[in-house]
Amino acid sequence: MMQNELTPLLKGKGQFVDGIQLAETVHIAFVRSTHAHARIVDLKIDSATQAPGVFTVLTATDLINRVNPICAKLEATGSDQYFSTNWYPVARNLVRYVGEILAIIVASDPYCAEDAADLVEINYDSLPAVIDAHQAIENESPTVHSYIENNVLFRTHRVVSEKMIHLTVLQSQ
């Protein structure tokens, strides 16, 4: 950084996007999974909904008919294999990774949103988790998506030319 850019920061007068206050702004906080793989048995949002400054608490139930899943599109050609998966912005019945969003708190300020997020109660039924990419493709590994039997979403075969092999050998020497 140039010295003239540092001066306001050193004086405590730096301006950041987080500090911009616009009229009628709302703030959100996400309630995230603490489990790597689990069924959501119960999600209680009543206390969070009643918390001071909270406008609403959104869950997958609220969004199911309003927000489409994110779905990667890829054309598999030749001997390539690709399995498409749907990813919902808010977990529906199952969490597949630590940090997956379970609820969205909408509140008058960030502090109310965070406080309300702490009031959401979640009961999980823990499932075996996939924690290593090499183990994930073994036959006994738990599946992340039930309809993909070996956790491999994309498989491709490429022929490497002699020139590429030679280039790789030269680069590694």
pLDDT in tens, the chain (173 residues): 556 778 888 888 888 887 788 888 899 999 999 999 999 999 999 999 999 999 999 999 999 999 999 887 777 777 788 888 888 999 999 999 999 999 999 999 999 999 999 999 999 999 999 888 888 888 888 888 888 878 888 888 777 666 666 665 555 55
- SS3 letters for the chain? CCHHHHHHHHCCCCCCHHHCCCCCCCEEEEEECCCCCEEEEEEECHHHHHCCCEEEEECHHHHCCCCCCEECCCCCCCCCEECCCEECCCCCCEECCCCCEEEEEEECCHHHHHHHHCCCEEEEEECCCCCCHHHHCCCCCCCCCCCCCCCCCEECCCCCCHHHHHHHHHHHC
Domains and their CATH numbers in the chain? 23-168 (3.90.1170.50)
